[in-house]
Amino acid sequence: MVNSGQAPAKIKYKRMPELVMDQLMDWIMDGTISMGDKLVAEDLASKMGVSRMPVREALKNMEKSGIVESIPYVGTRVVELTMADVKQIYIMRKALEPIAAYYACKNITDERIETLIAVQEQLERVLFEENPDGKEIFVLNREFHFTIYETSQMRHLVNSISNLWDHLAFFKLIYGRKYVTDKDSAKRVVRDHRSFIELLKNRDCKGLQDAVHESLDRLVSGLNESIEDYIHPNK
Amino acid sequence: MVNSGQAPAKIKYKRMPELVMDQLMDWIMDGTISMGDKLVAEDLASKMGVSRMPVREALKNMEKSGIVESIPYVGTRVVELTMADVKQIYIMRKALEPIAAYYACKNITDERIETLIAVQEQLERVLFEENPDGKEIFVLNREFHFTIYETSQMRHLVNSISNLWDHLAFFKLIYGRKYVTDKDSAKRVVRDHRSFIELLKNRDCKGLQDAVHESLDRLVSGLNESIEDYIHPNK
DNA sequence: TAACGGGATATTGTATCCTATTAATGCTGA
DNA sequence: TCAGCATTAATAGGATACAATATCCCGTTA
């Protein structure tokens, strides 16, 4: 067989719709695709060198998670996120993420905490580089949070939270820039994360729950202006 | 998206994947499809008289909302819902639905309340028929709740809640039977719903929020096992 | 006899083709 | 000129055909 040697059973290769979706999300994050843009399956297909089919599946997936919306026989376009949408998503995040954190704390092992610390160290390294990469920061930040949330072993909950994060893809760019230019935000993130780790070490689950909620609160109030700028750029 | 009116063979109003999914959900609810069953696209396609393509889309959708899971090149099977999953879903419902109710209350018009009352009257009629139809009860119950939630005008939130309800499809049957056989549950539902309506009329939004939460709490405590047992399995 | 490997089979993933639907365009007639 | 209908172009939806991959079975071999 082709697959001679090891790497048994657990190969998780990516299927094409996933790759297509990754590409689209990248384009969304780097601004190539903007809100409201029409996504024509055939154009994307030829641009990516695949047939229309995987593109269709990717779009269907993105529709299901609410990033794009499609009208039968008319087309698919990228959803226009309003300020109200963003607020709504943060309301949901504030409702769900503290719970995930709470149950994660109930379940976490010392070993898992070590993993988390490793991610955090990597994140801090990147954050305080001379020329940080916004996207890398966001990926690592996400990894940090989901390392916690996944520990809750509540797959439905984690899945929903993941969807919410995806919705904010448009703003990853902003976040990245903010952390790059605004060292205070970076320091605040570091402080928050470290306090999460401390609370986890002490198994202070209620404390962690509150801390996550507060952290999100601060995030919202901090980002109001920059989001407003992004939504109404020419104001 | 209430499909008022006809529903003959050749409807062109709903797209086929949706019809396929409806059919599958029906089969899930009536026990034709059980948890763990393998769903072979081609079989389903021929059974429904369509090609594999709409079936694939339907399965993809259901996978996205977590009702089925698929392994590449192997197949799709219906997820096995454990009691822990159910508890988890209720935790999420308790986190989200009170919020939706709260914002619904903030937005609701007298007219909308009338609509709600109409649904409730219909539900009560069915509930206290001599031979109630479990499925009909559940459809009407869902309509009641979502008439409220949709009033919040928070599409992401409502969408997430809708997914959670879909997850419980397997248990709709059970619940339905419960309401049929156990008149006390039926009465409790009626009481809860009527109190929701009353709170809405008074625009007591915080009260409604709490009432929804408590109502869900009572539902959960009706379920035997504790979530703690699952989350800390070896205790 | 048990373990390994190759091939048959089943089923999904992808490509291509055809059809249905919509929206835009243009023609006709008042 | 404009309203209204017919026609057409563009594009999504659906069917079919083909490729890729995993699983299972069976024969070979130590």
Identify whether residues A59 and A88 lie together within a single domain. Answer: no
pLDDT single digits (tens) B137-179: 888 999 999 999 999 999 999 999 999 998 887 776 666 666 6
Identify whether residues A106 and A60 lie together within a single domain. Answer: no
DSSP state of A67: S
| Rg of chain A in Å (alpha carbons) | 19
Identify whether residues A142 and A199 lie together within a single domain. Answer: yes
Please give, one letter per residue, the 3-state secondary structure of A160-195: HHHHHHHHHHHHHHHHHHHHHHCHHHHHHHHHHHHH
The CATH number that applies at residue A174 is 1.20.120.530
Strand C: positions under 7 A of a protein C-beta atom: 6, 11-17, 20-23
CA A181 to chain B, closest CA, distance in angstroms equals: 31
Identify whether residues A154 and A215 lie together within a single domain. Answer: yes
Residue B182 burial (10 A CB sphere; 0-12, 13-18, 19+): exposed
The answer to whether the Cβ–Cβ distance between A95 and B91 falls below 8 Å is: no
For residue A139, the one-letter residue type is: V
Distances from the Cα of A188 to the Cα of A100, A124, A181, A197, angstroms: 21, 11, 13, 14
Nucleotide minimizing C1' to CA distance for residue B71: C12
Identify whether residues A38 and A73 lie together within a single domain. Answer: yes
d(CA A159, CA A149): 10
Query: What is the pLDDT at residue A111?
Result: 97
Reference A172, options A146, A136, A130; nearest CA is A136
In a domain, A139, yes or no: yes
Distances from the Cα of A58 to the Cα of A37, A165, B57, B86, angstroms: 16, 18, 11, 29
Structural domain containing residue B180: 83-229
| Protein residue minimizing CA–C1' distance to D13 | A73
Strand, helix or coil for residue A39: strand
pLDDT single digits (tens) B74-103: 999 999 888 888 889 999 999 999 999 999
The CATH number that applies at residue B36 is 1.10.10.10
| Rg of chain B in Å (alpha carbons) | 19
CB-closest option in B61, B72, B89 to A64: B61
pLDDT single digits (tens) A151-182: 999 999 999 999 999 888 776 666 666 666 67
In a domain, A1, yes or no: no
In a domain, B9, yes or no: no
Query: What is the pLDDT at residue B210?
Result: 98
CA B84 to chain A, closest CA, distance in angstroms equals: 9
Give chain B's domain count.
Answer: 2
Query: What is the pLDDT at residue B180?
Result: 63
Dihedrals phi, psi of B39, to nearest 5 degrees:
-110, 110
- Is there a contact between B178 and B77 (Cβ–Cβ < 8 Å)? no
In a domain, B6, yes or no: no
Query: What is the pLDDT at residue A175?
Result: 62
